[in-house]
Amino acid sequence: MDTIFAQASAPGKAGVAVIRVSGPLAFQAVEHLAGDIPKPRYAALRKLKTPGGEVIDEALVLCFAENASFTGERVVEFQLHGSIAVVASVMGELTVLKGFRPAEPGEFTRRALENGRLDLAQVEALADLIDAETEAQREQAMRLFSGALGQAVAVWRDKLIHALSLLEATLDFADEEVPVDVTPDVLGLVTTVKEDVERELRGYSAAERIRSGFEVAIVGAPNVGKSTLLNRLAGRQAAIVSAVAGTTRDVIEVRMDIKGLAVTFLDTAGLRETDDEIEAIGVDLARRRAANADLRVFLVDDSVATGIVAQPDDIVVRSKIDLRGGEGISAVTGEGIDALLSRLHGILVRRSANAGLVTRERHRAAMIDGQQRLGNALALLARGPDVYDQVAEELRLAVRRLAHVMGKVDVEDILDSVFNRFCLGK
């Protein structure tokens, strides 16, 4: 196993830069550069020197013992002055050490996974946490990082293994008198798990929206002020505004944090019938993107937009109220914009409400598979003890598919606990 190293902090100039080293030889790095190995988990101030005795930097050094670190290996951190030259010099010293090499992207976390310190869902959650830009994304990632999905899967697994053990007992007694009918207990266990899995699956689309952001399309007739509204929301000139109808042709996207939710606003071409070939392409694109968005804000003045149907929750709002008075917004004065955002936020929060633990297509695919196996098991169970062996097989497959969510594919491990749990002395 190589000892790996990388800059853990963002590249470039900074207050402090962190270089992390992990692997069996990690402590050699600190001995080589700092002259001794400070006590693990205590920050120590050290002068880091080249083999020739030249001082590279005065740094804080932090050592972690094997089995008591993020990766599970020996880890050393050098907390340096955040200078490009200092970082380059320390990296250079590490590169020449035998048994050391630069880490691949994600390799520290990969070692944490391989050493059983994180499961696959936690690794994904960690990636989401690092990508999180809004409060809802951070909360969702932290919930998963705490291992909540793994715990849920473990509970399901235990129940299914319990159901399996009941079936196995009956199968093992096949030639003798079966003491009790296990069908009601098995039915209860499998039904509970199936319902739990289904509930988690229902939260997928909300969780995925929180993770990738909601899309909100601004639509309406030409010249109603869509681009002006987008620029107002973005706080910058993201789109061209002009008094000429038909200015916007491409879809302009602006990503924003709306009170903790990630939202991408789409400014679109004004909807109308047109002979202008390029504008027509823009109108077509606008219709398609608007139809696929999570929500549409219809801006209306006196003109009527053609060709797009409002869906439930869509917002219709009057524009240019500085000219026309009444309810609505003015993208020029800013009136009504906060109210519009609050309304939008309320709708998206409601749609986020049932977000659960299933945040990725990978989880979803494994769980749908597992849930189908459970459905098969229930259908077979209704046919009685003659097909208990087939019920058991479906349950085993369900357990295996659910375990995939955590990145565990070891079937032996599952079968072992099936057989250990229910010892019949046979």
Ligand X SMILES: Nc1nc2c(c(=O)[nH]1)N(C=O)[C@@H](CNc1ccc(C(=O)N[C@@H](CCC(=O)O)C(=O)O)cc1)CN2
Ligand Y SMILES: Nc1nc2c(ncn2[C@@H]2O[C@H](COP(=O)(O)OP(=O)(O)OP(=O)(O)O)[C@@H](O)[C@H]2O)c(=O)[nH]1
With a CB cutoff of 8 Å and minimum separation 6, the contacts of 180 are none
Residue 292 assigned as binding residue: no
One symbol per residue from 2 to 41: x for binding ligand X (CB under 6 A), - otherwise; what is it? ----------------x-----------------------
Q: Compute the half-sphere exposure of residue 95: CA atoms within 13 Å on the CB side of its CA.
A: 8
Q: At how many degrees (to 10) do helices 388-404 and 148-172 cross?
A: 160
- Judged by CB under 6 A, does residue 311 bind ligand Y? no
- Judged by CB under 6 A, does residue 77 bind ligand X? yes
Q: Compute the half-sphere exposure of residue 414: CA atoms within 13 Å on the CB side of its CA.
A: 26
| Residues binding Mg ion: number (CB under 5 A) | 4
One symbol per residue from 235 to 274: x for binding ligand Y (CB under 6 A), - otherwise; what is it? ------xxx-xxxx--------------------xx----
Among 27, 64, 156, 265, binds ligand X (CB under 6 A): 64
- Judged by CB under 5 A, does residue 248 bind Mg ion? yes
Residue 282 assigned as binding residue: no
| Residues binding ligand X: number (CB under 6 A) | 6
Residue 212 assigned as binding residue: no
Nearer CB in complex with Mg ion: 166/266: 266
Among 256, 332, 340, 341, binds ligand Y (CB under 6 A): 332
Binds 122, which of ligand X, ligand Y, Mg ion, none (CB < 5 to 8 A, cut-off by type)? none
CA 50, CA 106: separation in Å to the nearest integer?
29
Nearer CB in complex with ligand Y: 92/334: 334
Residue 223 assigned as binding residue: yes
- Judged by CB under 6 A, does residue 328 bind ligand Y? no
- Judged by CB under 6 A, does residue 214 bind ligand X? no
Nearer CB in complex with ligand Y: 35/334: 334
Nearer CB in complex with Mg ion: 203/246: 246
Residue 224 assigned as binding residue: yes
Of the listed pieces 77-85, 182-190, 221-229, 273-281, which binds Mg ion according to CB under 5 A? Answer: 221-229
Placement of tokens 């505004």 in the chain: 241
Structure tokens at 268: 């679109």
Q: Which amino acid is at 116?
A: G
Placement of tokens 């001794």 in the chain: 36
Residue 248 assigned as binding residue: yes
Pairing of the two strands 261-267 and 252-258:
antiparallel
Is 178 exposed, middle or buried, given 0-12, 13-18 or 19+ CB atoms closer than 10 A? middle
Among 5, 70, 298, 388, binds ligand X (CB under 6 A): 70
Binding residues: 20, 77, 117, 223-228, 242-248, 267-270, 426
Residues marked as binding for K(+)? 223, 242, 244, 247
Binding-site ranges for ligand Y (CB under 6 A) = 222-228, 241-243, 245-248, 269-270, 319-320, 322-323, 330-332
Residues that bind Mg ion (CB under 5 A): 226-227, 247-248
Which residues in this chain contact ligand X in the complex, by CB under 6 A?
Answer: 18, 64, 68-70, 77
